[in-house]
Amino acid sequence: MIALQNVCKSFQDGDVKHAVIKDLSLSFPQQSSISITGASGSGKSTLLHLLAALDTPDSGSIIVDDLKITELSTKQADEYRKHYLGFVFQRFNLIDCLSVWDNLCFSARLTKRFDEDYIDSLVQRLGIEDLKHKLPQTLSGGEQQRVAIARALAHKPKLILADEPTGNLDDKNSENVVQLLFELCETLQTTLILVTHSQPIASSAKLHYCLRDGQLHPQSRDTG
Ligand SMILES: Nc1ncnc2c1ncn2[C@@H]1O[C@H](COP(=O)(O)OP(=O)(O)O)[C@@H](O)[C@H]1O
Ligand SMILES: [Mg+2]
């Protein structure tokens, strides 16, 4: 269970305090997929940062499983991210000097969860077998996206946070890769919280919310 309780987050903009998340209370079941849409600047990335303990709310608390992540020390927050979370960023953020295979193994080795057969199965599933020995800069955007998804899952995290994982790739192909992320998370019983501007992707999640005026508004499948 992921629970947000009276979470408030604002940023100072000159003399003005700009409230981004406004007294948000909500809980998500574990092992589910949750999509979040919303206008640019509505606070989607801010919310993911709070869930990643990369930032702290002004008030309120966030609980992931039994862990109150809003009360962690810097070191505990590092451990939480390292062991518990997988990320897919908009720009994919692969490590340029490491081969694709070493990118995939990096966090798994760090967390002592390196499982070669499992990572190989992700590689097969994402169709990136031929890229294993290449460097990230030599890959197309679509290939980098596949690698980024495999990397997010490689250390068997319990929660994946994906912030517009289609990057600037707008084609159908890229959406299909994100659909694959849904399938993989379901098979691996990993919770997925995904920010997207794509309605078809958002509707593929079990729960879809729109972030507006600092609150998450549930969206029905029919209304998108
Ligand atoms: N570190 C920060 N300092 C100041 N303002 C910020 C910071 N991060 C985000 N904001 C502001 O908070 C609002 C929400 O930003 P963000 O969460 O990035 O929106 P989204 O991801 O939905 O586009 C924006 O107005 C943005 O300028
Ligand atoms: Mg954003």
The answer to whether the CB of 37 is under 6 A from ligand 1 is no
For domain 2-218, the CATH architecture is 3-Layer(aba) Sandwich (3.40)
- Which residues touch 179 (CB under 8 Å, ≥6 apart)? 201, 204
Show me where the domains of the chain are located: 2-218
Q: Helix 100-110 to helix 116-126 angle, to the nearest 10 degrees?
A: 140
Confidence of residue 167 (pLDDT cuts 50, 70, 90): confident
Mean local confidence (pLDDT), 125-141 = 96
From 9, 10, 11, 161, give the residue whose CB has the most ligand 1 atoms within 8 Å, as the site to mutate. 11
Which residue has the least CA distance to atom 8 on ligand 1?
Answer: 46
pLDDT at 116: 96
Is 60 exceeded by the pLDDT of residue 85? yes
State the pLDDT at residue 169: 79
Contact 47, 36 (CB under 8 A): yes
CA separation for the pair 32, 30 (Å, rounded):
6
Residue nearest to atom 5 of ligand 1 (CA): 11
The model's pLDDT over 202-217, given as tens digits with 9 standing for 90+, comes to 999 999 999 999 999 9
Q: How confident is the model at residue 53 (pLDDT cuts 50, 70, 90)?
A: very high
Burial class (CB in 10 A: 0-12, 13-18, 19+), 156: middle
Atom of ligand 1 minimally distant from the CA of 48: 17
Residue 223 has pLDDT above 70, yes or no: no
